[in-house]
């Protein structure tokens, strides 16, 4: 388990080199936490660090794709899906098997699809400008 306290958004530039290393090596990353806890904001700062296209919330599109030097980032938000069979309609498994980075907000519906190397980051709100990130590398624990 790793954890970081982000006192303000600008602090992401200090912690992102370390966090990004976990993300890039595991490839499949679940982003858990209540609305407003900073999941989408985290992806924006990660993209900035990796030199990828500007991230936005995929709440309505379900998945956004961004380009960067090392390939493609798939950014999901499963909030609006209601049934697991909607995941096969969008080709969720193929995205996960593509070898590209997959970042997944509201990941619970996809639980049967996640491989063993998946990591999870739990976001929590400490106060208006402070967030806590807890990273676990075994999602099945
Ligand atoms: N330290 C911080 N880290 C991330 N977001 C923060 C932080 N402080 C304040 N915020 C604000 O909290 C909100 C997080 O929203 P968002 O990233 O869309 O959350 P989620 O995707 O988890 O619903 C944004 O308005 C952001 O500006
Ligand atoms: Mg979001």
Least Cα distance to 70 among 50, 56, 49, 53 occurs for 50
Question: What tens digit of pLDDT does each residue of 43-94 get?
Answer: 999 999 999 999 999 988 999 999 999 999 999 999 999 999 999 999 999 9
pLDDT band at 140 (very low <50, low <70, confident <90, very high): low
Fold category of 2-136 in CATH = Rossmann fold (3.40.50)
**Given CA atoms 81, 83, 84, 90 in this order, what sign does their dihedral have?**
negative
Q: Give the mean pLDDT of the chain.
A: 96
According to DSSP, the β-strands at 130-136 and 71-77 are unpaired
Cβ–ligand 1 contact at 38 (below 6 Å): yes
Three-class DSSP category at 7 = coil
CA of 49 from ligand 1 middle (Å) equals 17
Q: How far apart (Å, rounded) are the C-alpha atoms in residues 141 and 139?
A: 6
The answer to whether the pTM exceeds 0.85 is yes
Q: What is the pLDDT of residue 69?
A: 94
Cα 71 versus chain centre, distance: 16
Those residues with Cβ within 8 angstroms of residue 39's Cβ, 6 or more apart along the chain or in another chain: 31, 32, 33, 105, 123
Report the alpha-carbon distance of residue 65 to residue 48 in Å, rounded: 14
Residue 7 Cα: closest atom of ligand 1: 1
Type and span of the H or E element at 31: strand 28-32
Domain ranges of the chain: 2-136
Q: How far is CA 20 from the centre of its chain?
A: 11
Instruction: Tell me, using a 6 A CB cutoff, whether residue 32 lines ligand 1.
Output: no
């Amino acid at each position: 388990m790793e954890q970081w306290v982000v006192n303000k958004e600008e602090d992401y530039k200090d912690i992102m080199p370390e966090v990004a290393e976990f993300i890039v090596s595991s490839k499949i990353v679940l982003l858990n936490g209540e609305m407003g806890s900073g999941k989408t904001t985290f992806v924006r700062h990660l993209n900035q660090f990796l030199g990828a296209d500007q991230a936005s919330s995929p709440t309505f599109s379900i998945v956004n794709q961004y380009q960067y030097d090392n390939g493609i980032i798939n950014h999901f938000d499963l909030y609006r899906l209601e049934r697991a069979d909607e995941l096969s309609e969008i080709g969720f498994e193929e995205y996960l098997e593509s070898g590209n980075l997959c970042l997944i907000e509201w990941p619970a519906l996809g639980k049967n699809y996640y491989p063993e190397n998946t990591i999870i980051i739990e976001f929590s709100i400490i106060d208006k400008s402070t967030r806590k990130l807890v990273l676990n590398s075994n999602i099945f624990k």
